[in-house]
Structure 1
Amino acid sequence: MPEQRFKILDLFAGPGGLDVAAHFLGIPSMGIEWDRNACLTRYQAGLDTIHGDVSKVRRERFSEIPEDFNVLAGGPPCQSFSVAGKGRGRGQIEDLRKLMNLMKALVNDHENPEIDKELGKLDPRAALVLEPLRWLLKRNAEYGKPYDAIILEQVPTALPVWQEYKEILESLTGELEYECAEPHVLRTERYGVPQTRQRAIFIARRKKADFGSVPELPKGIFRSFDPRAPYERSVDAPVQEQMQFDAHLDSAEPEPWRSMHTALKAAGPFLPHAEGTTALPENFVVVSNYGSGGDPKKRGRRSSHFPAFTVTGKVSRNVILVDDKDHGRFSIPEAGALQTFPGNYPWSGNDRSQQVGNAVPPLFAMHVLGAALEVPLPEDPIESALKWEPASEERAAELRERGCGDEDRCTDLCPPQDEVTKK
C-alpha cells in the first residue's frame, strides 16, 4: 500500500496504548487526552498530543487537526456505559434509549443545540459516547471527506452502543456510506496479552476508500484462558504441578495463552527496577483484591504460569506471594508489561496505576488496527514491541508546547486541573 496511507486520530488517547500499536505498525497518530498525567506520559514517550476536552476541541480547535488524519479511533470512558449493563434500573435503560435516539438525531443535524440540551439531562459522561459520530459528521461538513475508517473499543457493556453505531453508519449514503464488521466482545488473551481482559470492538470502513475486503474483526491466535478447565483450576496446587498443564493441550488447538511469567521474562531486559528490588522469580502467585468484599479468603488467585487478572487502575493493590510469603506488588513497569507496553515505557506524572489500567493493551490494539486497516503485523508482534525509544528532553518540551501551549506547564488551553481530577 502507499506509504502512510493512514493517519490516526485517537479521541480518548490515555497514556498511549493505541499510539504505541500504531507506531509499531508504522502508522502516524495523534491523541486528544483530558488527563494531565496521561499527557505527561505521552510527551515523554514522544507521542503527538492535544491536552484538551474532546468536545471542546471539536467545537473550538478542530482546525488544529491536520486534514490528512483519516482514521478515527476512540474509547470513551468506561463510566459512560453503566446504563448498558445488565441488571440496571428502568431509569438507566431509558437513558440508554434516549442516548441512541440522540445518535440518530445527530445524523440529521449534527450542530443542533437542542441535542446538547438533551444530553445535559443525562450523566455528563454519557455524552462522550456520541463524540466519534460528531467528529465524523463535522469532518464531512468541513472537508467533504469523512474518515476512511472508524475503530471504537470499550468495556463489554458498550456492545449495544456499538451495535447502534453499526446500524446508523450503514444507513448513511454517498461519501458517508460505510461497511461495518459485526461488533463483538473479544478476549485479549487470544491476541497474546497476558491477562484476561475483554473489550467490545467496532470497526467500520468507508466504501469509497478502496479497501480490498469486507471489514472483519481480528482472529485470535492464542487459546482463551478458562479457569474452569481441570488443568487450570487448581490454584492451590504446587507450582510444579501447575506447570504441567501444557500436557493437556491438543496440538491441533491454537497456541496456549501467554502467562505472566512469560511476558515479564520477555520484557525483563528492558524493565527498570527500583533500588533494592529485583525481577520477580519464575514462580509466584497473584492474590486479587477484587470481588472479595474485604474477606482475604475469598480473593482470587492466579499462578505466574497463567494470564493475569484484568489489569485495572487498582493493579498496585494486588498482592504477590512467593513461597506463600508477601513479596510486595507489581511495579508500574511490570504492570505495564502485563498490558504489553514496552518494558522501558516512560510512565510519568501521578496516578500511574490508573494510567496503566485505563490503557488499551498495545499488542491487542495492533491486531485490531491491522484488521481494520488491512495493515500487516510485524513478523513477531510480541518481540517487536518489547522496547521503546523515549523522547529527548527537547522533543518532550516541543510536544508539550504543542499540546498544552507551553513547553513546561499547562495553560488556559488545557482542562482545569480540578476538573481533570474529578474526571
Structure 2
Amino acid sequence: MKKNKTISATDFADILSVSKRTLEKWEKSGKYIPEYNYNLKRKEYKISDIADIPEIKRMLDTNWHSELETKPKSNYKSIELFAGAGGLALGLETAGFESVLLNEIDHDACSTLRTNRPEWNVVEGDIAKIDFSDYKGKIDFLSGGFPCQAFSYAGNKLGFDDTRGTLFFQLARAIRETAPKVFLAENVRGLLNHDNGRTMETIKNVIAEIGYTLIEPRVLKAIHYQVPQKRERLFLIGIRNDFAQGIKYLWPSPYKRIMTLRDALFKGDLYDSDVPNSIGQKYPPRKKQIMDMVPMGGYWRDLPIDIQKEYMQKSFYLGGGKTGIARRLSMDEPSLTLTCAPAQKQTERCHPLETRPLTIREYARIQTFPDSWVFAGALNSQYKQIGNAVPVNLAYAVGRSLIRLLNDIYEQYDIVPKEACLSNVG
C-alpha cells in the first residue's frame, strides 16, 4: 500500500470493521471524504488522507516481507487435530513445522490429506479413542480447530474434568498428554461471546489448569494476510508455563494490500496463472434466469420487485437484510466468507462474470490452496472440505509468528536444537 494510491470504500470498511453507513456519516461530517472513480464506478479514499488510522498505518509500515525470512532454528515437530482438508496443516508446513501426526474423523478429508502428502501420518477416526501420551516430550507444538460447543454448567467455575464429552476436552487432553511448548487453537469469532462469554471463560480456566499461559485471544481477518476473502477466525495461543516467563509473542504483520477475487481467479500477485477449469455445481434453469438479473456485487434486493417476491416467497415479508441470498460476488473486492455449499439459497456465492456457482478450483483459490492440492470425495464433500478450511496463507502467516515464538523460547531457555542433539549421538 503506497501513500499516493487509493483504497476502495468497501476495503476501507472491511479493514476498520465498520458499515458503509458509517462511512457515509464520516463523509457528511467531513471526517474522511472519498472521491468517485468513474472508471470503476466506486468511491475511493486517498491513502495519504487516511494514513494516520492505526489499521492503515500497520499496512503501510508492515514487517510482512522481513517476516517471510523467518526460519526455524530447530526441527520443530507438531501434531494437528481436526485437520480437515489441510489448510492449517499446509500453512504450518510452509512456515517450517514438521507434522508427526494429523487426526481427522472425516474419511474424504483424510483421503485428501493422504493424496497430497503421502508422507504425513494421518490417523483417521474419533479423537476420543487416540492415546497421545507416546508423544509426550517429543513435540514442540500442537494445533487444532475444535468445533464450538456449549458446556453443561452444573457449577460456577468449570475446569478440565467438567468439559468431558466435548471436543474441546479432547484438545485439552491431547495438550496435557503431549506437553508441547506451544499450542494453537482456532475457532469462529463467535466463540468469544458464545453462551454469554461462559464458554470462553471455561476454556481459559482449563488452559490455566493444564499448565499453560494464554496469549490474549485475537480475531484475525484473512484479508490482511494475502487471502482474497472476508473471513475471520479466532486464534488462541498458549505457552507452557515453564517457558512463558519473559517471552513475548508477536502477532503476524498484515500484507500491504487487500487481495480481491480478481487476484484469485487470474494471473497476478497471488497466482502465476489463471484459475484452471474444474467441476462445479449448476443452477436449475429458473434460478439461472433470476441470477442473470443480479448485477455484480448485488443480491436479491437488486431484482425487480415481482422477481424478489417470487424468489424470496414468505421471507420477502420478514425483516433483516439477508444479504447472502441471490448474491453475486464482485471481481474487485474480496469474496464473502465461503460456506460449505456455494449454491444454497441463504449463502449464495455466484461467479461475478458468469451466472453459475463458483467451481471447486475457484473455491480453493479463494482459500489460497495451491492448484496442485487435490480434493477427494464427491462434489458436495469437496465444497464442504474447502469451505471449512483455514485459508492457507492465513495459516502460513500465523505459522511464521509461531516459528519466531519457538525460536525465542529455544534461545532464551538455552534449549539445544534437535539437530545438534542428533549430531552428538555416539
Matched ranges for 1:275-290 at <5 A: 285=296
Matched ranges for 1:179-218 at <5 A: 179-209=213-243, 213-218=247-252
Q: In the alignment, is residue 33 of structure 1 matched against residue 142 of structure 2?
A: no
CA spacing shift, 1:201–1:327, aligned 2, 3 Å: same
User: How much has 1:267 moved relative to structure 2?
Assistant: 2.9
Residue of structure 1 equivalent to 2:190: 157
3-state SS, counterpart of residue 269 of structure 1: coil
Which AA in structure 1 matches 2:335?
A: A
1:126-153 deviation digits (Å, cap 9, x = unpaired): x1022221112233xxxxxx21001000
3-state SS, counterpart of residue 38 of structure 1: helix
CA spacing shift, 1:66–1:21, aligned 2, 3 Å: farther
TM-score (norm 2): 0.59
User: How much has 1:273 moved relative to structure 2?
Assistant: 1.5
1:77-111 deviation digits (Å, cap 9, x = unpaired): 2xx34x4xxxxxxxxxxx464598553446xxxxx
User: How much has 1:373 moved relative to structure 2?
Assistant: 3.4
Which AA in structure 2 matches 1:334?
A: E
3-state SS, counterpart of residue 356 of structure 1: helix
Matched ranges for 1:405-420 at <5 A: none
- Bigger radius of gyration: 2
1:355-406 deviation digits (Å, cap 9, x = unpaired): 00111111111122222331699xxxxxxxxxxxxxxxxxxxxxxxxxxxxx
1:295 is matched with which residue: 294, 297, 312? Answer: 312
Residue of structure 1 equivalent to 2:374: 346
Which AA in structure 1 matches 2:174?
A: W
CA spacing shift, 1:31–1:271, aligned 2, 3 Å: farther
Residue of structure 1 equivalent to 2:113: 42
CA spacing shift, 1:205–1:135, aligned 2, 3 Å: same
**Does the CA contact (< 8 Å) of 1:72 and 1:132 recur in 2?**
no
1:68 is matched with which residue: 133, 138, 158? Answer: 138
User: Structure 1 CA distance, aligned partners of 2:245 and 2:122?
Assistant: 28
**Does the CA contact (< 8 Å) of 2:72 and 2:404 recur in 1?**
no
Residue of structure 2 equivalent to 1:131: 170
Which AA in structure 1 matches 2:273?
A: P
CA spacing shift, 1:332–1:171, aligned 2, 3 Å: same
User: Structure 1 CA distance, aligned partners of 2:139 and 2:406?
Assistant: 20
Q: In the alignment, is residue 261 of structure 1 matched against residue 262 of structure 2?
A: yes
Q: In the alignment, is residue 328 of structure 1 matched against residue 356 of structure 2?
A: yes
User: Structure 1 CA distance, aligned partners of 2:217 and 2:185?
Assistant: 10
**Does the CA contact (< 8 Å) of 1:267 and 1:343 recur in 2?**
no
User: How much has 1:11 moved relative to structure 2?
Assistant: 0.9
CA spacing shift, 1:64–1:183, aligned 2, 3 Å: same
3-state SS, counterpart of residue 345 of structure 1: coil
Residue of structure 2 equivalent to 1:17: 87
1:245-301 deviation digits (Å, cap 9, x = unpaired): xxxxxxxxxx3311011122233637431499xxxxxxx936679xx9953995344
User: Structure 2 CA distance, aligned partners of 1:100 and 1:267?
Assistant: 51
Residue of structure 2 equivalent to 1:371: 401
Residue of structure 1 equivalent to 2:276: 272
Q: In the alignment, is residue 314 of structure 1 matched against residue 341 of structure 2?
A: yes
297-306 vs 181-190, which moves further: 297-306
Identity of aligned residues (%): 25
Structure 1, unaligned runs of 5 or more? 84-94, 107-114, 120-126, 140-145, 223-254, 277-283, 378-423
Which AA in structure 2 matches 1:73?
A: S
User: Structure 1 CA distance, aligned partners of 2:115 and 2:245?
Assistant: 35
1:51 is matched with which residue: 120, 124, 137? Answer: 124
User: How much has 1:189 moved relative to structure 2?
Assistant: 0.8
User: How much has 1:303 moved relative to structure 2?
Assistant: 1.3
User: How much has 1:212 moved relative to structure 2?
Assistant: 7.2
Which AA in structure 2 matches 1:206?
A: R
Q: CA RMSD in A?
A: 3.4
**Does the CA contact (< 8 Å) of 1:162 and 1:183 recur in 2?**
no
**Does the CA contact (< 8 Å) of 1:75 and 1:154 recur in 2?**
yes
The aligned length equals 288
311-320 vs 43-52, which moves further: 311-320
User: Structure 2 CA distance, aligned partners of 1:24 and 1:2?
Assistant: 11
User: Structure 1 CA distance, aligned partners of 2:404 and 2:146?
Assistant: 24
Residue of structure 1 equivalent to 2:207: 169
User: How much has 1:67 moved relative to structure 2?
Assistant: 5.4
3-state SS, counterpart of residue 277 of structure 2: coil
